[in-house]
Amino acid sequence: MKNLVRLFVSLALVMGIVSCGVTDDPELCETGDLELKFKYKYVDAGGSEDVTDLIDEIYLYVFEQSTGILTDVLLISSKDLKDGSIEAELAVGEYTFVAWGFSKTEFKKGGFSDVHMMDSVTHRYTPVVIGETTIDDFRVMIVDPEGGFSDLFHAIREDIAITPALASKAGTKIIPVEFDFVRFNSTLQVKVKGIQYINPLVTRAEPHLPLDIFVTGKKGTYTHAGSIDRYAPELRYNTKTKSLSDSETEMDIRLLRLDVQHHVQNPVMLHLHSTNTTRANNNIHVIPDIDVLQAIFQVRNEKGEYIYRDQVDIDRTEFFPIEITILQDLTIEITVDGFVVHDLDPML
């Protein structure tokens, strides 16, 4: 179980007032400071990670609250985070700030893109345009899940008011604005034991994996609030094998956020298919597909108490160890965090 620890790095964001002419009210042309504090919400007990350890870049999307129109996109680099300051200009008004953080220094290379969603049903979109894209049309989406993606973090603050009173002739006022970042990815640490029993008639000169192991789920397209788009396409996440022998294999499967609310209608499923069979269909289920969140929510501690109860418990955990054991009689046992969650008959 993880403990909630709030760490932060301060970023003083100087918000000026734009487009001031000789006929404008001078009071509206004075400047003030908003001090943005970016925090990573969950770390291990005793951990020392802060935002600068986890995030290389932050894209801060500024939406005018009354119209919902995107007025600016501020790129906060790792250098800015370390230096602690960046300058930008905003007019008097109320705003919604949407922050997405990435662990790689280039947006596209991090595996994600910001888009203006023209039609969610057909997944038709165009690039984001300041002054045109609205908060309802704005999406962040994964580009190529099979090609890999960076760590993703999300935070949002609404009702940020830039008022004439923010600055005065007596001196600049500083208003703190805090962002609590939540990690939007996790990793399944999958171990499969007893793979020699899947098809013992097939022999090879060296260890091989007679399984196709992958995860599917409808996600990867996010709204400004961090919720999954209703019409997000189904994604396939492939494995990265860490070890392989004649009898077992270990692998990591990196996923986007396990969303509890989205789970009911669109569960994330772990698949084990056999690639060694004499049947006409040469890629069949070894076991029934595993509902990942359903399995995780079954885990209990030594007192019989559920370890994972809600979205907060899921978000505070980065790694989920899942062990699948295939016995000689083809009985299947599945454990998460060492807790037995399923005993299944095979589908060979």
Q: What is the pLDDT of residue 278?
A: 43
CATH number of the domain where residue 36 is located: 2.60.40.2100
In 194-317, at which residue ranges do the beta strands (DSSP E only) sit? 211-218, 221-222, 234-238, 240-244, 248-256, 269-274, 284-285, 290-291
Q: Which long-range contacts (CB under 8 A, 24 or more apart) does 19-24 make?
A: 19/91
Instruction: Verify that 175 and 222 share a domain, yes or no.
Output: no
Q: Model confidence over 151-189: pLDDT tens digits?
A: 889 999 999 887 766 544 444 566 778 888 888 989 999
Q: How far apart are CA 76 and CA 73, in angstroms?
A: 10
H/E element, 82: helix 78-83
pLDDT at 105: 55
Q: Which residues contact 6 (CB under 8 A, 6 or more apart)?
A: 39, 41, 180
Is the per-residue pLDDT at 101 higher than 80?
Answer: yes
The domain tally of the chain equals: 2
User: How far apart are alpha carbons 276 and 198 in whole angstroms?
Assistant: 8
CA dist., res. 246 & res. 207, Å (int): 5
In one-letter notation, the amino acid at residue 59 is Y
Give 320's pLDDT tier (boundaries 50, 70, 90): very high
Distance of alpha carbon 328 from alpha carbon 205, whole angstroms = 22
My answer on whether 199 and 160 are in the same domain is no
Confidence band of 97 (pLDDT split at 50, 70, 90): very high
End-to-end CA distance of the chain: 36
Are residues 190 and 171 both part of a single domain?
Answer: no
Residues 340 and 203 in one domain: yes
DSSP conformation letters of 316-329? T--EEEEEEEE-TT
Q: Helices then strands (H, E): number in the chain?
A: 5, 25
Same domain, 274 and 175: no
Kindly report the CA angle at 304 between 298 and 310, in degrees rounded to 5?
A: 45
Q: Are residues 172 and 129 part of one domain?
A: yes
Res 46: pLDDT = 46
Could you say which of 134, 162, 183 is where a domain stops? Answer: 183
Q: Helix, strand or coil for residue 105?
A: coil
Cα–Cα nearest to 93, from 74, 75, 128, 67: 67
Task: Among 153, 183, 213, identify where a domain stops.
Answer: 183
Percent of the chain with pLDDT over 70: 73
For tokens 């008959």, the residue is 345
d(CA 99, CA 96): 10
Closest-CA residue to 292 (of 217, 198, 183): 217
The residue among 183, 207, 232 that closes a domain is: 183
The 10s digit of each residue's pLDDT in 56-92 is 888 999 999 999 999 999 888 888 887 777 777 777 7
pLDDT tens readout for residues 220-256: 899 999 999 988 988 888 777 777 787 888 999 989 9
Domain ranges, residue 95: 4-183
Same domain (yes/no): 310, 179: no
Task: Let me know whether 11 and 143 are in one domain.
Answer: yes
Q: What is the mean pLDDT of the chain?
A: 77
pLDDT, tens only, 251-272? 999 899 999 988 888 899 998 8
Residues 116-125 pLDDT 10s: 999 989 889 9
Between residues 328 and 66, the one the model is more confident about: 66
- Please state the rounded mean pLDDT for residues 25-33: 50
179, 191: one domain: no
SS3 content of the chain, % helix, strand, coil (to 5): 10, 50, 40
Shared domain check, 139 and 121 = yes
Which residues is 211 bridged to in the sheet? 274
Distance CA 85, CA 63 (A): 21
Q: Helix, strand or coil for residue 107?
A: coil
Residues 122 and 157 in one domain: yes
pTM for this prediction: 0.81
CATH code of the domain containing 191: 2.60.40.2090
- Is residue 201 over pLDDT 60? no
Cβ atoms within 10 Å of 27's Cβ, excluding its own: 13
